[in-house]
A and B are shown apart, each in its own frame.
Chain A
């Protein structure tokens, strides 16, 4: 299968700290790939490096056959990459509707995608006029994902979607991610292995800034020893 994204041996520094020390991620088009690993392993930095928010010093990031490292973040995003950050980053001075509208890349993106987004997250429809911060954690997470759906993105980078959410909400979040994965490719950073294993088809394990193992999720799910070794989960 053709790869939409190919991250080749990237090294990223934050200040003087050498955070990523050789990460490789291959993402087949149309799939969901989970980045797994313990806290502080470098999963979030990998997402940010793909988008150029923490630009890698070495290595290559190839998106749709084009090398994007060295480009500014907004240029990379405009090639068709959406970002749902950890802690959601909802704009508190903007209403829910403005939080969606600001993500437009072409005029009319929001109007075109509105129905699709509200089918996916019916809650957002009735909250549309409220300020971003009056939303609950789950609603903010939905809004953050919805925001990434407004423009036509081919790749979505979703960081910790289940963090801090109640189990019921996680269920509906997973359903939504499955639904949107029909339209685009997804890279998921997820601490909760149960969630990751039910969503993703492929995985990459990152440990101390290096990608140490990758493959099909169903193989990993069967390999209890690996799960325990890399993720500390049973």
Chain B
């Protein structure tokens, strides 16, 4: 018992202070206001946690401060929105994406090909660049001509805002299916496949480590899968689009969460393997790279989805209305799927204030189990301390790095798509959330997983309570003054708390001494 107390002293003190803060906060407001604010704090904390935990995992193991993490969170939200509102765009993208992947799926075959090539030293040096150049030219020629049905950012009637508005009110804008008019289909398909193979071969030539590769059918499984997906996407394009349009909003939302998270995982893996990995010995360049990636990501989102803010429709499961709403208890809610439920006489939004914190909790526990109970988790915990020794044990640390980066970005994208129906989508959502996450990590401890959770909840709570007190005011004791915190105090309060925590505990509440 004593050792438990000693080991978790800071955690206990933090929880006690938090409880004292909540009790004090509860004195000045109605019970229902308190409950709602508490739940909102948990909701903001949960989304912050999804970003912060991924950021902290990546920083802990790879020593990479991924400043693009907020942007990846935002991209998750926009991708999820696209699945829900324009599933046909995604169906159209399926074939070109599968074709681009297929070249890289041949990874193990390229070293064999490379061994066959007999070239002079200088030609050998030029060859990969030449291949990549041709590949980029081909992509540049084909991709803009490849037919993808998409909204029109310039035309308000066809803009994402209009699509979002219509979808939110349960209607769909009629959409035109895309057709091969600017380029012939066989040319587009073969060209993309060729571009992908040339590019992947070129990139593989940079790796000079001698490898013995034995070819077997297994080397061709992934390319076969990618090609089948590409062909199916091409042949059944219309059927797939109408199938997705026919799905109810719950299924679409579920698929959106899946697609956004998996896209985050893929983007993260790709980013680590191509951009981050060459710069492990140059951390400053890495930092600048992730900062640049963040700016590029934001501009890409602006170019594709436009600048105006819009919302992602909530799934019907959480969006019921009518006579029976708001629900008075959970059985009632289950029967009617009301968007709100009465808790302690306050109207609580089920999606925002109950569902999101629950998902946050599930992710918290799942990642905790991954870290503490699986071999991968053991390797991650060991690698955080000494990745070279882990490699010396015969473990491919580079692959684990890629997996952790992918997992971290996947968590951010999950946060983005989950937050989108409650906070809406905007070009700046990533930056403000990353700032929140960084403050949460500084408070909780930069590389501590429980610290990320604790810090995020603290940041969420404080912000929401200050927003609430901005509305109802705080009565200053022994005076008649009622103090109403202004909106700028919301971010300022968490920064102030961060400064205080760091002055007392430089490693954050639960961080370990470096």
Which A residues are closer than 8 A to B by beta carbons? 51, 53, 70-74, 77-78, 83, 85, 89, 91-94, 98, 101-103, 105, 147, 151
Bound-complex Cα distance A162 to B406 (A): 42
CB–CB A102/B209 < 8 A: no
CB–CB B394/A70 < 8 A: no
Bound-complex Cα distance A147 to B378 (A): 14
Q: A93-B382, A93-B384, A102-B379 are in contact. Are A147 and B393 (CB under 8 A)?
A: yes
Chain B residues near A83 (CB-CB < 8 A):
389, 392-393
Of the candidates B388, B394, B396, the one having the most CB atoms from chain A within 10 angstroms of its own CB is: B394
Partner of A70, one of B209, B382, B385: B209
CB–CB B389/A85 < 8 A: yes
Of the candidates B210, B385, B393, B395, the one having the most CB atoms from chain A within 10 angstroms of its own CB is: B393
CB–CB A94/B381 < 8 A: yes
Partner of B394, one of A89, A92, A93, A105: A105
CB–CB B382/A77 < 8 A: no
- What is the distance, in angstroms, from B338's C-beta to the closest C-beta of chain A? 45
CB–CB B397/A74 < 8 A: yes
Q: Which B residue's beta carbon lies closest to that of A69? A: B210
Q: A71-B209, A74-B396, A74-B397 are in contact. Are A94 and B391 (CB under 8 A)?
A: no
Bound-complex Cα distance A98 to B391 (A): 16
CB–CB A102/B396 < 8 A: no
Q: A91-B382, A102-B382 are in contact. Are A72 and B396 (CB under 8 A)?
A: yes
19 contacts between A and B (CB under 8 A): A71-B210, A72-B398, A73-B388, A73-B391, A74-B393, A74-B394, A74-B396, A77-B394, A78-B394, A83-B389, A83-B392, A89-B389, A91-B381, A93-B381, A93-B384, A102-B393, A102-B395, A103-B394, A105-B394
CB–CB B386/A89 < 8 A: yes
CB–CB A53/B391 < 8 A: yes
B390, CB-defined interface residue at 8 Å: yes
Chain A residues near B397 (CB-CB < 8 A):
74
Q: Mark B355-385, 1 if CB is under 8 A from A, else 0.
A: 0000000000000000000010011011011
Which B residues are closer than 8 A to A by beta carbons? 208-210, 375, 378-379, 381-382, 384-386, 388-398
- What is the distance, in angstroms, from B265's C-beta to the closest C-beta of chain A? 23
Bound-complex Cα distance A83 to B390 (A): 10
Q: Which A residue's beta carbon lies closest to that of B208? A: A70
- What is the distance, in angstroms, from B3's C-beta to the closest C-beta of chain A? 11
Main secondary structure of the interface of A (DSSP, over half): loop
12 extra A-B contacts, CB within 8 A, seeds A91-B386, A94-B382:
A53-B392, A70-B210, A72-B391, A74-B393, A74-B394, A74-B396, A74-B397, A77-B394, A93-B384, A102-B378, A103-B393, A103-B394
Chain B residues near A103 (CB-CB < 8 A):
393-394
Chain B residues near A101 (CB-CB < 8 A):
375, 378
Bound-complex Cα distance A98 to B378 (A): 7
Chain A residues near B209 (CB-CB < 8 A):
70-72
Q: A70-B210, A72-B209, A77-B393 are in contact. Are A92 and B385 (CB under 8 A)?
A: yes
Bound-complex Cα distance A78 to B381 (A): 21
Bound-complex Cα distance A94 to B368 (A): 14
CB–CB B388/A53 < 8 A: yes
Bound-complex Cα distance A58 to B388 (A): 22
Bound-complex Cα distance A94 to B512 (A): 14
- What is the distance, in angstroms, from A101's C-beta to the closest C-beta of chain B? 7
Q: Which B residue's beta carbon lies closest to that of A80? A: B394
Chain B residues near A105 (CB-CB < 8 A):
394
Q: Which B residue's beta carbon lies closest to that of A150? A: B393
Chain B residues near A98 (CB-CB < 8 A):
378
Chain B residues near A151 (CB-CB < 8 A):
394
Q: Which B residue's beta carbon lies closest to that of A147? A: B393
- What is the distance, in angstroms, from B351's C-beta to the closest C-beta of chain A? 37
